[in-house]
Chain A
């Protein structure tokens, strides 16, 4: 795991590998469209263990992002329970670190000002938050850009800053909502490798939502396939590819077998989702 000098030694120390960190039971979410009530998520249950990397794939509009927003405390839901480390989730909070597709960096703040933002509003002393921000900037390889502004960075760099910003306040779980969805295909693949390397070091618990099967298999320990709306678990695949995963794992027979398995599950749902749109 991590040696003493890495940023997440603290986070790693509090981990209890193999034990349930996030427990979602029978979550139901509906919303109104005109006079109709639409079911977005139907009695969805999920357990994520401490230190586990779980990816959720599903057709667009299946409610997977909505699920993440509910976990983040931003969207209301109808019924069900959500526990993080045994305590009920109520409203937004820094025990869950959200990473959005749109980066959400503050354009009026420099890179270092963005990364230290959470510690600043939490009232940490200046020296401490600068030190933490610099540590995490180094982890994502952007120390040289500490004084740049977000407008001066490429999309991939912005998302790395956003990742450093989330890691800096040491949440118990990372909730990533299609974090690489706004990037071009090449940058996207490099970012997946980068995230894999960083995760190898920090071992955060991650719940990662994407529509990209390759991304899910390459990154995750477990892939969950969502059904078309209403979102339910269609399939669950443990990815037993060995870690650390190098880029060429994508060419291995094991990887391709997983890819076929997930795609077979997902295909029917994508077709169903498409019918609904037409």
Chain B
């Protein structure tokens, strides 16, 4: 990178950071001057508490509990959503089979079925993973469905013309051609997985970040609540960045994945 490019990039980054930093400084000053409600703890105090919880391993314990639920549900929901979505996208009868049930249940907020799932699966991880699975299924299913439906007919014709059997057409044409939209579904699904996990833990759990927020509220320990929020924010952000990087790699060369690759 040339010096000029470096400075121009640094300037852009600095511009983006200006507002959050100013807000943090204002927050810190007003918290120290003492004229704010008790839930607005100084950022320095929040950082200190977060650091304490991190070093004792308590924060990591709750984070890993949440991660198991979020990623467990994500894996199952995404696998089911992508498989069924792609199949529905290439076979009309499969689409007709799924369409009514998906259309009916899609707008239902998935968290409301948690009590039913708890009655059925108990209050352990299984019911939470199940509700996350349900939440992740829809965006991955719908995006995969439209990804597969939108595959240019000529791509499929060319493949058949070149002697490809149906299974090769699916794996080597339908799948890569739908990939951009499948990845969009995966990204939306990941955010939902974290949201629904924390929501489920706030409703009924004995550990996890959602549980941490609820106990912090009960005991008026707002510093702990912020620690949980920070942890949830960090894993959500890291997961999303990871997916964005994967997407860029997977779509290398395609126009849609080309930002930055050639210029």
Residues of A within 8 A of B (CB): 72-74, 91-94, 96-98, 100, 102, 104, 106-110, 117-118, 121-122, 149, 151-152, 165, 169
A104 pairs with B155, CB closer than 8 A:
yes
Which residues of A lie under 8 Å from residue B159 when comparing CB positions?
117, 121
Which residues of B lie under 8 Å from residue A149 when comparing CB positions?
253-254
Which residues of B lie under 8 Å from residue A152 when comparing CB positions?
253, 262
The answer, yes or no, to whether B152 is at the interface (CB within 8 Å) is yes
Q: A107-B254, A108-B179 are in contact. Are A94 and B154 (CB under 8 A)?
A: no
The answer, yes or no, to whether B235 is at the interface (CB within 8 Å) is no
A118 pairs with B154, CB closer than 8 A:
no
Complex: how many Å from CA A122 to CA B176?
19
The answer, yes or no, to whether B54 is at the interface (CB within 8 Å) is no
B157 pairs with A169, CB closer than 8 A:
no
Which residues of A lie under 8 Å from residue B160 when comparing CB positions?
73-74, 91-92
Complex: how many Å from CA A96 to CA B163?
10
A125 to chain B, nearest CB (A): 16
The answer, yes or no, to whether B91 is at the interface (CB within 8 Å) is no
A108 pairs with B254, CB closer than 8 A:
yes
- Interface flags for B86-100 (1: CB within 8 Å of A; 0: not) read 000000000000000
Q: 7 more A-B contacts (CB under 8 A) besides A97-B161, A106-B176?
A: A91-B160, A92-B157, A94-B161, A98-B158, A104-B157, A121-B159, A151-B254
- Interface flags for B163-176 (1: CB within 8 Å of A; 0: not) read 11100100011001
Which residues of B lie under 8 Å from residue A106 when comparing CB positions?
155, 173, 176-177
Q: Could you say which of A108, A110, A118, A151 contacts B162, with CB atoms under 8 Å apart?
A: A118
A104 pairs with B158, CB closer than 8 A:
yes
Residues of B within 8 A of A (CB): 152, 154-155, 157-165, 168, 172-173, 176-177, 179, 251, 253-255, 258, 262
A151 pairs with B253, CB closer than 8 A:
yes
Complex: how many Å from CA A72 to CA B155?
14
A151 pairs with B255, CB closer than 8 A:
yes
Which residues of B lie under 8 Å from residue A110 when comparing CB positions?
253
Chain A residue at minimal CB-CB distance from B162? A118
Q: Could you say which of B154, B168, B173 contacts A102, with CB atoms under 8 Å apart?
A: B154
B253 pairs with A98, CB closer than 8 A:
no
Chain B residue at minimal CB-CB distance from A98? B161
Complex: how many Å from CA A121 to CA B165?
8
B253 pairs with A118, CB closer than 8 A:
no
Complex: how many Å from CA A48 to CA B85?
44
A104 pairs with B152, CB closer than 8 A:
yes
A107 pairs with B163, CB closer than 8 A:
no
Which residues of B lie under 8 Å from residue A74 when comparing CB positions?
157, 160
B152 pairs with A108, CB closer than 8 A:
no
Most buried by A among B164, B253, B258: B253
9 A-B contact pairs sorted by A residue (CB < 8 Å): A72-B161, A73-B160, A74-B160, A91-B160, A94-B162, A102-B154, A107-B255, A121-B163, A122-B162
B82 to chain A, nearest CB (A): 17
A121 pairs with B162, CB closer than 8 A:
yes
Which residues of B lie under 8 Å from residue A91 when comparing CB positions?
160
Which residues of A lie under 8 Å from residue B164 when comparing CB positions?
121
Chain A residue at minimal CB-CB distance from B252? A149
Q: A98-B158, A104-B152, A106-B176 are in contact. Are A122 and B254 (CB under 8 A)?
A: no
Which residues of B lie under 8 Å from residue A104 when comparing CB positions?
152, 154-155, 157-158
B157 pairs with A72, CB closer than 8 A:
yes
B162 to chain A, nearest CB (A): 4
B158 pairs with A100, CB closer than 8 A:
yes
Which residues of A lie under 8 Å from residue B163 when comparing CB positions?
93-94, 118, 121-122, 169
